[in-house]
Amino acid sequence: MKNKNVLLIEAPYSYASAGKEVVGKYFPLGIGYLAAYIRQFGYSVKIFQPSSDESYNQELKDIVRSFRPSLAGISVMTPSYPRAVEICDIIKSNDRNIVTVLGGHHVSAVGKEVLEQSSNIDFSVIGEGEITLHELIRALEPGGPEYEEIKGLAWRDNEGNIHVNDSRELIKDIDSLPFPARDLVDMDKFRLHSYIDFGKRSATMITTRGCPYKCAFCSSWLTMGARYRFRSVENIMKEVRELVEGGIDHIVFEDDTMALKRDRIMAICDALIEMPNRPSWYCLTRVDTMDYELAGKFKAAGCKMVNFGIESGSPEILKLVGKKISLDRAVEAISACRKAGLRTQCTFIVGFPIDTEKTMAMTYSIAKKINPTIAIFFPLTPYPGTRVYNEFLDKSLMPHSVEEWLSYIMTDNKSGISLNSNYTGEEIKAIANKFNRKFFFRPLHILDMLKTVHSPTDLFRLSRGALYLSSNYLKELARGGAS
């Protein structure tokens, strides 16, 4: 390496401009952890934080020229993959000697293909990235390890042949990791989704890594593994106090299932209850972890809203995707939260391979029966590495180039891929939009939602979120594509 400068980037993907005030731009925790880990070893690390989407490319060129990194690491989700390739092209056009490394969910699923699809990508990091990235940086320096010795790495040899090394073991003691390097960015430029932002200054953090459930549609376990690893309560509270001392008054815990281990979540709540200036918070968990006792504890500890993934109103589909929940339990969990004074957010998916008009109507019906504060209906997107992608996607539709991935991704302007032989991607997307609109604009639901409002700011954020989530339906209606 020509120097010890490392540039880290989260590849962006955009939403409709009409939703910019509602859809959040979160601090990239993965990049933050990588930065904190790498700089322990004497490297100078910067996190790229452009001032606007419009000036993104120019600011990227500017930081490449001024910082002169030896290595650029880019975090990639499937919707941001085409943009990540473009970022590598920009970096290489400015300096061919900068080593480009991609990691994240998408790369963990198709790391070899990523290298095949762009010569401007030098390495892929598959799975958890901290140790692999550090070893790769060492390999670029005199006396470092050989590429073939680095677990979790995909690389290209001098003849252009691509190699994928053995998988890396998961980090057992995640307390040993330094807190994300939030000091490398302007935290005021990040914001949460408006309908889950309950503070004046908010942040995200995680208390666990991994998810043991491996639902058929979910790709999160590809990077962080299927084994659940817990941070200690002491370590968690140290980070919470650090955030609060830095002016944070609301935290979104991004764990896939925060309440999986009951005695642990109770201990976290007890610690928060004892904290005199505790922040408010939001988290995600499963319905089979929630009851009135825990909901009451959440409320006392400062929780404002809990997110539950319900996915479908069809027991057959829930079994197919490996969700392992009962709909009766879902009703009970949301009822317990409501009784305790917590807001709830539930997510649903339409367009599963065996979905029919009847089963999708069942999904909408269970949403009405559960009646969470916020319900969001998503069209199914088969992400690489998931079971729905591997088992249900026609092999002829699997993308094999950056251009094909660009067409594959579902956005505001493109319908994406459907796994359901009876519905096109456009039709599935229209159904999701219609359900979002119908759910929010029910008079009784509006009244229920207003009961949870405690300030004009609350009302503004919830209303803005509802309008955004229904806006796609209104666009479809204007084009004559919704019913």
Q: Please determine, for residue 475, whether its predicted confidence score (pLDDT) is greater than 60.
A: no
Q: Please determine, for residue 14, whether its predicted confidence score (pLDDT) is greater than 50.
A: no
CA distance 471 to 467: 6
Per-residue confidence (pLDDT) for residue 19, from 0 to 100: 43
**Highest mean pLDDT (candidates 364-368, 425-429, 468-472):** 364-368
Q: Are 181 and 37 within 8 A, CB to CB?
A: no
Q: Are 342 and 298 within 8 A, CB to CB?
A: yes
CB atoms within 10 A of CB 268: 24
CB atoms within 10 A of CB 52: 7
pLDDT, tens digit, for every residue of 106-165? Answer: 999 999 999 999 999 999 999 999 999 999 999 999 999 999 999 999 999 999 999 999
Instruction: Give me the long-range contacts of 299-302 (CB less than 8 A, separation at least 24).
Output: 299/340, 299/341, 299/342, 300/269, 300/273, 301/268, 301/269, 301/270, 301/272, 301/273, 302/272, 302/278
Q: Are 221 and 173 within 8 A, CB to CB?
A: no
Contacts of residue 86, defined as CB under 8 A and 6 or more positions apart, other chains included, come to: none
pLDDT band of 468, cuts 50, 70, 90: low
- What dihedral do alpha carbons 454, 457, 458, 463 form, nearest 10°? 140
Per-residue confidence (pLDDT) for residue 465, from 0 to 100: 59
Of 320, 288, 287, 337, whose CA–CA distance to 448 is shortest?
A: 337
CB atoms within 10 A of CB 379: 22
Q: Are 417 and 380 within 8 A, CB to CB?
A: no
Of 9, 214, 222, whose CA–CA distance to 100 is shortest?
A: 9
Domains in the chain with CATH codes? 5-164 (3.40.50.2300), 192-478 (3.80.30.20)
Using the CB atoms, write b or e for 27-40: b if 16+ within 10 Å. bbbbbbbbbbbbbe
pLDDT band of 412, cuts 50, 70, 90: low
Using the CB atoms, write b or e for 329-356: b if 16+ within 10 Å. ebbbbbbbbbebebbbbbbbbbbbbebe
Q: Are 465 and 193 within 8 A, CB to CB?
A: yes
Using the CB atoms, write b or e for 101-110: b if 16+ within 10 Å. bbbbbbbbbb
CA distance 474 to 483: 10
Q: Please determine, for residue 57, whether its predicted confidence score (pLDDT) is greater than 70.
A: yes
Q: Please determine, for residue 331, whether its predicted confidence score (pLDDT) is greater than 90.
A: yes
